[in-house]
Amino acid sequence: MSLNYAAALSKYPDKGILGLEEITETDNIVKQKSSELAALLRAASRIVFLTGAGISTASGIPDFRGPKGVWTLEEMGLKPDVNIDFQTARPTFTHFAITEICKMRDKSCYVVSQNVDNLHMRSGLPKEQLSEVHGNIFTEKCPSCGREFVRRKPSESIGMRKTGNLCTARKIRNIRCRGKLVDTVLDWEDPLPFDELDESERRCTEADLCVVLGTTLQIQPTGNMPLKTKRGGGKVAIVNLQKTRLDSSADLVINAKCDEVMRVVCDHMGLSVPSEPSPSPEGSDLVVIKDAFRPKPPQYRVKRVKVDDGGGVVKTEVAAGDTVSEIVKEEPQHSSDA
């Protein structure tokens, strides 16, 4: 859970402003503003969702800087009273709502997440529509070939350290890569992954709407990304229980719980939001990668997704070419000297 994740981080004195007061607007105001957000979403063709810990609190994962956040309580010498971990946490209504909006054919959507809990992908959001700028506690990466492996269990390390597993991707002449996999979760002052950051900034710059959900935007450079949308002529909407540093720059600010707002939004947009992602039968196509922001050939594709029932490995290979996906079974490989 976020408590264990936070405890694994290095000591760092400046965690931002903690314990900000929560503000809850009246039901009528929330409904009115939520309908305005639905109108903004309907009118927009290029949308970026920027998400933070506040969209996962409904799943039982505590936030960090709220009145009962992990770091807020840490300052008081306390710990959150929680009994849920990342593995058993379920995506919230907001996660599923974002995924449904991202499926709309008349829109090009992208998600920039500061969360490491993997709940966006577990809600059915394709990786190709997601930048996890602080990493994913379920994902390992091969430094040699760049392949990523999304596991069923969270990593036991953070800070891009070796996990003890080997890359099983096939190289030229069908030889296994066997690079030593590392976790993808950033520690304090670790550099953000360049590709994820670059794509996030490009998407925000070219978006005509940036929707901020569940974050006070204190961490940089992510906290300034909505300004790129504003400078490009787009609009910014913020949904958060606390004030954020960009409230005065936003076109719409809603002080309410994300799930409450997104339920009204989806109702106005006529979207049916499932509580579970639709399962993909073995052997079926999973992902189609399209870059609708600017016309150019797709640079990357999901080549294969491999599931191992024994070791619990879900693997995503990335390679140049057209988009094709399939599921096959594979044995995990482990390093003896990690």
pLDDT digits (tens, 9 = 90+) for 223-253: 999 999 999 999 999 999 999 999 999 999 9
> What does the pLDDT average to over 319-338?
40
> Active site residue: 95, 120, 134, 268, which one?
134
The answer, yes or no, to whether residue 30 has pLDDT greater than 60, is yes
**CB-facing half-sphere around the CA of 164: CA atoms within 13 A:** 6
Angle between helix axes 27-43 and 258-269 (nearest 10 degrees) is 50
What's the longest Cα–Cα distance across the chain? 64
| Confidence tier at 110 by pLDDT (50, 70, 90) | very high
Q: Which amino acid is at 253?
A: V
Q: Is 134 a residue of the active site? A: yes
pLDDT at 38 over 90: yes
Strand residues in the chain grouped as ranges (E) = 46-51, 108-113, 130-132, 139-141, 148-151, 162-166, 180-183, 209-213, 235-239, 252-254, 301-308, 313-319, 327-329, 333-334
Average pLDDT over residues 31-36: 98
Per DSSP bridges, beta strands 162-166 and 180-183 are antiparallel
Taking 70 as the threshold, does the pLDDT of residue 304 lie above it? no
Q: Please report, for residues 11, 184, 188, 274, the alpha-carbon distance to residue 7 in angstroms, rounded to integers and kept in the order given.
A: 9, 17, 12, 34
Average of per-residue pLDDT across 138-150: 89
Q: What's the pTM value of the predicted model, to 2 decimals?
A: 0.79
Structure-token pair, residue 198: 């670059």
